[in-house]
Structure 1
Amino acid sequence: MANEKNESLDVNSLVTNFNESLGLSTWLEVAVKEPTRRNTTTIGIQDSYVVYLIESTITDRSKIFSGWLEKRNDETFEGSSQIDHESFPSTISVWRRYSEFDILKDYLMVTFPYLVIPPLPEKRLTGAWQAASTTSSDNADPEFLERRRIYLEQFLKRIFTLSDVSQDQVLLSFLYTEEWKEVVASSKYHSLRDSRLKSLSASYRIKKPNDKFELIKKYAQDLQQYVGGILKCRAKATEHLYGIHKIHSNYGREFSEWSSIERKDMAEGLQKMGHYLDNFAQDIDMCIEGEEDFADQLKEYYGYCESLRHLCKKQELMQLDLEQLGDALASKRIDRENLSQGKTGIFGGFKAKVFGGNTPEQKEGKLKALDEEILKMEEKVKASTESLTDFEEKALANVERFSKQKMADVTDIFVTHVMMTLERCKKSRATWQHIKKACECV
């Protein structure tokens, strides 16, 4: 049932490839299949969880990344320096929980902060716009699990188009080994995570914000606001439309019951009216599924805003570090200039009177020590500047890539929704024409 209802959700049509010649998608296909419930017992308490089957299929053996062969935890190939591409299995399957997808996403955002990482589908239906949803909010519901499976697959397909992650061992291990959690733990990516408190205050502490990233940050905020607003309006409209259609089932029942007391010629018309009104009430169920498809696709871009904000936060932190290094360097240069000119300040003058001034040898030693500190700090400033410049170039390129992807996807989403609405209106019009003919027979 779930597979039939989601045939319209073609993940391949949603993923736009913008010539990422080095991405995993050039030689590897991925599919997420078979959401399966498993049971576990912890301290005498029985619990259940859902796992998804991930199948990775090699489509072009000539482009296989060597790390896929060398690092795969498989006894058949382990320790072999020369591996025959042709003898390597074409399909590898692993089981993953939703929480493991979440760990992978967190790892990618920390390790590749300049990338616009795609969002995961919701773990549970929690959005305010889902009030009119006919799908159960319980994540044990088969229909909801099927929808989540589709968008978990889309998440991986989006990742596969990013060339920067194509040789990352943690991502590859996610696809082929059951011990991938040990691999991600050994990467110690948590040590790269920025302080939450520092991240929150960075935007207020930097002196010269980068205008381009300020615009991206504002755009992310506005995009989330407007997409969220559209989703809420959709929920209200869908709820209202659902109510209107379903109330017509009451009309259908009343006309059908009325037909039982009339003569045959009139009863036949009333019976037809009741039948068509029942059909009109039932047609909305399929329309609701289409509306949920529309909402799911828009929610992906609602989630993308988190990645855009994360990218801007990282830029602010790097710029703040650079400005602090610059301030420390300027302070050291002032100290050296004052020392070379014999300026000691109030505290230095008091110290000189009590303990005596610096001898020429002491002064020379302090100047030399300051010169060494200044040289080291200049190197740090240079390295920090280069890192920031490199990050900004990569980040802006990826934001541009995201913008192209968004333009293509959002256009397709809205056109598909409009076409679906037109089909619904045509079907409703045809139903009412049948009802009109039935009325003429009364």
Structure 2
Amino acid sequence: MVEKGTALLRKLEINVAEAEKRTGKNTVNMQETYTVYLIEIRPAETVPEGGTPAAPDTLWRRYSEFELLRTYLLVTYPYVIVPPLPEKRAEFVWHKLSADNLDPDFVERRRVGLENFLLRVASHPVLSNDKIFFLFLTEVSNRTHIYTYADSRLKSLSAMFRVKNPDKRFTALKHYSDELNTVISQLLRVRARVADRLYGVYKVHGNYGRVFSEWSAIEKEMGDGLQSAGHHMDTYAASIDDILEEEEHYADELKEYLFYTDAVRSVCRKHELIQYELEMAAQDLAHKKQQKEELATGTVRIFSLKGMTSKLFGQESQEQRESRLATLEQSIREGEETVKEKNAECQEFVRTAWEDIERFKEQKDKDLREALIGYAIMQISMCKKVWISMGCFSFCPQFWYSSTNSCPDDFLDVTQILTGNILQTF
């Protein structure tokens, strides 16, 4: 799903080859079990015929180091929708799948997700050129000190700002992100519930398989057919584990964009912060200009402590007034420069952020379309296998279609319509 559109991916092949469980001591000197992931990079030049590819450069990274890298990217590139990491603990899973973050199946899925994260960053036109990202791929030593300054800046982004004149484009983007989050969350919940029910249906057929096998022992004329039916029932029941594991792959692709919605909202919050700083600078400048006007004319428009003091103790001398005017004029010039800089910063942020937002939307449409079409094709293929495996019941009218080794046309039409409806949701 990641295209080699940047110079970095054209030069390097990046893989997270394997995961390994380790035991060590944490920061409070307590023993813990954790997982590390092996990153492999090698030159992407074509290997000559008969030659051998160069050995990859390798290093091990923990999940927490990936988190530090993403935190650094979030702070350094506030206008970029930074790709999300795979989930730290399993969510939206059917109940037969383990939610343990050390479970081998979950670790394998997270390994794939971490590789996809690196490829997403490496394919981004801005993030791929970052030196720290390159060091993350090549530098063996742990360089966590590079990211320490990020925490304080991220904390400021978590605060709520009351912007007087919010940008309608970013307000709409926030609603878009919330709606996308809601739709994908509902789809994942429904998928988990359906997977639970499907698992139960398939496993019930395992009981049918035993019944048919025992039945075949006491039937003379139908014995072979019943035994064959029992065998097909057992095969049908056993297939559900592989089916749901394959479904989990498509669920992970949806989860990636569920987590992407947080990255989109993060860009909106950063724009609100810049907009808030611009409004505060403009408000401070307006207040200083009002003070200058009042000082120059000798009139006070609003109640103030200084105005009350001047009435009680007399007016300022001419020298004091001129000194204050000079100070205010200097402060106003500085304030005008600050407003100009903040305005330019805001405009530049909007320009660069909107470029990345448009790139993200195009990528999202392409990836989700491919994922949902792949999921629909997998479901059609699964149903075809079911019809074929149930061919032994051709003596029953309800299984007549199985003898053709294909699904009814009506079923295919309904599946295509359903797929189209899901795609329109996004």
Q: In structure 2, how many angstroms separate the alpha carbons of the residues matched to 1:290 and 1:220?
A: 27
Q: List per-residue Cα deviations over 1:42-78 (Å, max 9, x = no partner).
A: 68854321111111223369xxxxxxxxxxxxxxxxx
> 1:172 corresponds to which residue?
134
Helix, strand or coil: the match of 1:29? strand
Helix, strand or coil: the match of 2:35? strand
Q: List per-residue Cα deviations over 1:299-343 (Å, max 9, x = no partner).
A: 000000000000000000110111011000000001001111111
Pairs within 5 Å for 1:373-412: 373-412=331-370
> 1:15 corresponds to which residue?
2
Q: 1:253 to 1:383 in 2, by over 3 A?
A: same
Q: In structure 2, how many angstroms separate the alpha carbons of the residues matched to 1:166 and 1:112?
A: 12
> 1:430 corresponds to which residue?
388
Matched, 1:114 2:79: yes
**Is the 1:325–1:381 Cα contact (8 Å) retained in structure 2?**
yes
Q: In structure 1, how many angstroms separate the alpha carbons of the residues matched to 2:373 and 2:76?
A: 36
Helix, strand or coil: the match of 2:160? helix
Q: In structure 2, how many angstroms separate the alpha carbons of the residues matched to 1:306 and 1:106?
A: 13
**Is the 2:94–2:195 Cα contact (8 Å) retained in structure 1?**
no
Deviates more, 1:368-377 or 1:426-435: 426-435
Matched, 1:54 2:39: yes
Helix, strand or coil: the match of 2:129? coil
> 1:33 corresponds to which residue?
17
> 2:219 corresponds to which residue?
262
Helix, strand or coil: the match of 1:37? strand
Q: List per-residue Cα deviations over 1:96-132 (Å, max 9, x = no partner).
A: 001111111111111111111111111221x2x3134
> 1:201 corresponds to which residue?
160
Q: List per-residue Cα deviations over 1:129-171 (Å, max 9, x = no partner).
A: 3134x43222222222111111100000000112222332321
Q: How many residues align?
A: 388
> 2:414 corresponds to which residue?
none
**Is the 1:336–1:367 Cα contact (8 Å) retained in structure 2?**
yes
Q: In structure 2, how many angstroms separate the alpha carbons of the residues matched to 1:50 and 1:388?
A: 42
Out of 125, 136, 149, the residue aligned to residue 163 of structure 1 is 125
Pairs within 5 Å for 1:249-328: 249-263=206-220, 265-328=221-284
Shift, 1:438, TM fit: 9.6
Give TM-score, length-normalised by structure 1: 0.83
Q: 1:136 to 1:352 in 2, by over 3 A?
A: closer
In the alignment, residue 144 of structure 1 is paired with which amino acid?
Answer: F
Matched, 1:243 2:200: yes
Helix, strand or coil: the match of 1:53? strand
Helix, strand or coil: the match of 1:40? strand
In the alignment, residue 182 of structure 2 is paired with which amino acid?
Answer: Q
Give TM-score, length-normalised by structure 2: 0.86
In the alignment, residue 240 of structure 1 is paired with which amino acid?
Answer: R
Q: Any unmatched runs of 5+ in structure 2? A: 47-53, 400-426
> 1:100 corresponds to which residue?
65
**Is the 2:232–2:389 Cα contact (8 Å) retained in structure 1?**
yes
When the two chains are superposed, the root-mean-square deviation of aligned CA atoms in Å is 2.3
Helix, strand or coil: the match of 2:164? coil
Q: 1:156 to 1:96 in 2, by over 3 A?
A: same
Q: In structure 2, how many angstroms separate the alpha carbons of the residues matched to 1:438 and 1:242?
A: 24
Q: In structure 2, how many angstroms separate the alpha carbons of the residues matched to 1:41 and 1:403?
A: 43
Q: Any unmatched runs of 5+ in structure 1? A: 1-13, 62-88
Shift, 1:189, TM fit: 2.7
Q: List per-residue Cα deviations over 1:15-36 (Å, max 9, x = no partner).
A: 245x4x4x52232221001201
Shift, 1:209, TM fit: 0.8
> 1:366 corresponds to which residue?
324
Q: In structure 1, how many angstroms separate the alpha carbons of the residues matched to 2:242 and 2:74?
A: 37
The structure with higher relative contact order (CA 8 Å, sep 6+) is 1
> 2:411 corresponds to which residue?
none
Shift, 1:190, TM fit: 2.9
> 1:140 corresponds to which residue?
102
Shift, 1:353, TM fit: 4.3
> 1:222 corresponds to which residue?
179
Helix, strand or coil: the match of 2:98? coil
Pairs within 5 Å for 1:71-82: none
Helix, strand or coil: the match of 1:193? helix
> 2:371 corresponds to which residue?
413
Shift, 1:195, TM fit: 2.0
Q: 1:153 to 1:348 in 2, by over 3 A?
A: closer
Helix, strand or coil: the match of 1:178? coil
